[in-house]
Amino acid sequence: MDHGGGGGGGRAFEMNYWLTPVPPPGDLTIIVDWPTRDIPESRTVIPSDVIAQDASANVELWPWQPPDNDEPPPPPRPVLPEGGWFAQHATDDPSDG
């Protein structure tokens, strides 16, 4: 779940959340509790048919694709000033670190 914005003031606030991925089949129970604000634990059940109805309206814009590999590409080698210490001691072997 990710926070999607919200606002309000006084005694009314509204918060929006992105729920991803879509929950598995069945009712979704949301439980909240905020003891430091004297808000006791409460539960809200969202019926599975409501979730399924809303899920059918979802549009996947950019399907997830796994990366080609897990390693990021190496950074480009820096351009070293001629005649300096680094230029004198650098090697062309990338495994030389």
Identify whether 76 is part of a domain: no
Containing domain of residue 49, as a range? Answer: 25-58
**For the segment 77-87, what is each residue's pLDDT rounded down to a tens digit?**
877 778 877 77
State residue 94 phi and psi, 5-degree precision.
-65, -25
The whole-number pLDDT of residue 45 equals: 92
Domain count within the chain: 1
10-25 pLDDT, tens digit each: 888 888 777 777 777 7
pTM above 0.85, yes or no: no
**Cβ atoms within 10 Å, residue 51:** 18
> Is the residue at 39 inside a domain?
yes
Residue 4 forms part of a structural domain: no
Q: With a cut of 70, list the residues of the chain below it in pLDDT.
A: 1-5, 55, 91-97
